[in-house]
A and B are shown apart, each in its own frame.
Chain A
Amino acid sequence: MERYYQPEIECASRDQILAWQNERLVKQVKHVWDSVPYYRKKMEEKGVEPGDIKGVEDLCKLPFLTKDDLRDAYPYGLLATPLKDCVRIQSTSGTTGRRVVAFYTQHDIDLWEECCARAIVAAGGTNEDVCHVCYGYGLFTGGPGLNGGSHKVGCLTLPMSSGNTDRQLQFMVDLGSTILCCTPSYAAYLAESINERGLRDKIKLKAGIFGAEAWSEEMRRDIEKSLGIKAYDIYGLTEISGPGVSFECSEQTGMHINEDHFIAEIIDPETGEVLPDGSKGELVFTSITKEAFPLLRYRTRDICVLSRKQCSCGRTHVKMSKPMGRSDDMLIIKGVNVFPSQIETVLINMGMPANYQLIVDRVNNSDTLDIEVEMTPEMFSDTVAQVTNREKELVSALKSMLGIYARVHLVAPKSIARSEGKAVRIIDKRKI
């Protein structure tokens, strides 16, 4: 039987959901107008005032926010409450190396964790469960979000964080983890390790909540089969709160967006025009309950489809498809957002021309990033040691910019294919 964390909200009537949205949106627009000069200016430029927004039908009158706005307004430009009321920041990578910083009041943390709790309960979680969280902890929202949600549900929470597979498996066996939260690629890797070590009969997993990167239906079936679990997708982004903006139910045909907190729209990424439900386009979120970092009409750049078809699970909130792509050039590698422009910044900072190519692949269910960089006279030397030293400096500068390890390959000048004079920057070989 389907279980809910907050049935009165998750299964509320459409009229009720709309009423909440109307009321909260009006209030939120006023809050932002009063406390975020950056956005107020954008509204003024568009000739919109809070009085013009009477409900969800007026949402399209508001200006968009993009990742560029977050960069321009860094760090406090979009903050809507005094810092003394904030209790946490989380952060994600930005387009040119400047990170995106999101602020949370205790109220914001609570609503975020509630969203994660809904996801855990939808995956069958109760206070009898042992919830094994191996998303990264720290600035990344994955670990803290699911950790908080797990507490709310009352699960015994194992804050494992990522890496150290031996320890993951030991705790999984010894403490009888029943719900696994991590990226799908790490789940596949753990599944492989479990089966290799013959631990399959010793684990008690029943469900997994996997997100932060793209994965296919085929990968889902593989993980489900090799771990003997049901695997649920979860979606979110730091700008809007973190994981749990939407989550999957037992039907596994899309993720319910927590519409009491976030209003979703699908727009044409070229024109910005709102598209009807069922159209494929860019997902835009408006946060209607957050206090500290309430983004209005934030363009996610994720391309997907919304569906309001009645769901067999009983939830009434709109469902979004898995993101089918991006309307910008952001890559998600090992769950980490990577922008080609960040690599450009590192190269330029090191006095190198920005001739490079990214090759992304998935080997043994784990993402790999290789960066080909064209050799320059400045970087070249007659001794191998000097060239490899410079290569190492580049690798470590990239690591600190991107947050993940990338193998660097030095290639001959002008050897990176150029089409119409513009370099082909990304080769994504992953079959997702």
Chain B
Amino acid sequence: MTIQQISIFVENKAGCLEAVMSLLAKNDIDIRALSIADTPDFGILRIIVSDTDKAAKVLADGGYVARSTPVLAVEIADRPGGMAEVLGVLAKADISLEYTYAFITRHTGSAYMICRVEDNDKAAGVLAEAGIKTATREEIDKL
């Protein structure tokens, strides 16, 4: 039900983000989705990539502090209100989001919301009951 997200510690300095991206590019790792949470000193770069294991190894070898976290990739309709619907279901079940970010795809016509919640199983169950799908690793890989 969940997919792995990689988060990476990146300093808030010119060139730091570029360095991570270049490292991933050099190793042929494709980024499906990305978000950055920033503080005055540093940022947390969160990415969904084509090959999580390889990306984790490349980053570790490159001296980065990174970690993998299971998150939900919730399929949403690529139309106004698509995201609100999902948020409504979660809110009703009193599930709070740590953070979320969304991306659209070229092929399926749908969009995805990456959701970080405390209890993935509970959130996925609530969404399934409301007829909302969460994508598997394979589905994301195929995008």
Contacts and interface: CB of A to CB of B under 8 A. Distances in A.
Contact of B39 (A375, A382, A388): A388
Contacts of A387: 39, 42, 44
A383 B39 contact: no
B11 A380 contact: no
Interface size class of B (residues with CB under 8 A): 20 to 34
A415 interface: yes
B54 interface: no
A373 B84 CA distance: 40
Contacts of B7: 380-382
Range class of the A interface residue count: 10 to 19
Interface hub of A383, A388, A412 (most chain B Cβ within 10 A):
A412
A383 B99 CA distance: 8
A407 to B, nearest CB: 9
Given A388-B39, A409-B41, A413-B63, A382 B69 contact: yes
Contact of B67 (A381, A409, A413): A381
Contacts of A383: 37, 44, 98-99, 116
A56 interface: no
**Interface hub of B7, B39, B41 (most chain A Cβ within 10 A):** B41
A387 B98 CA distance: 13
Contacts of A411: 11, 41-42
Contacts of A388: 39
Contacts of B63: 412-414
Interface string A382-393: 111101100000
Contacts of A384: 37, 39, 44
Given A412-B11, A415-B11, A382 B46 contact: yes
B40 to A, nearest CB: 9
A219 interface: no
Interface of A: 375-377, 380-385, 387-388, 409-415
Given A380-B9, A384-B39, A409-B41, 15 more contacts: A380-B65, A381-B44, A382-B44, A382-B46, A382-B69, A383-B37, A385-B98, A387-B42, A388-B39, A410-B41, A412-B63, A412-B64, A413-B64, A413-B65, A414-B63
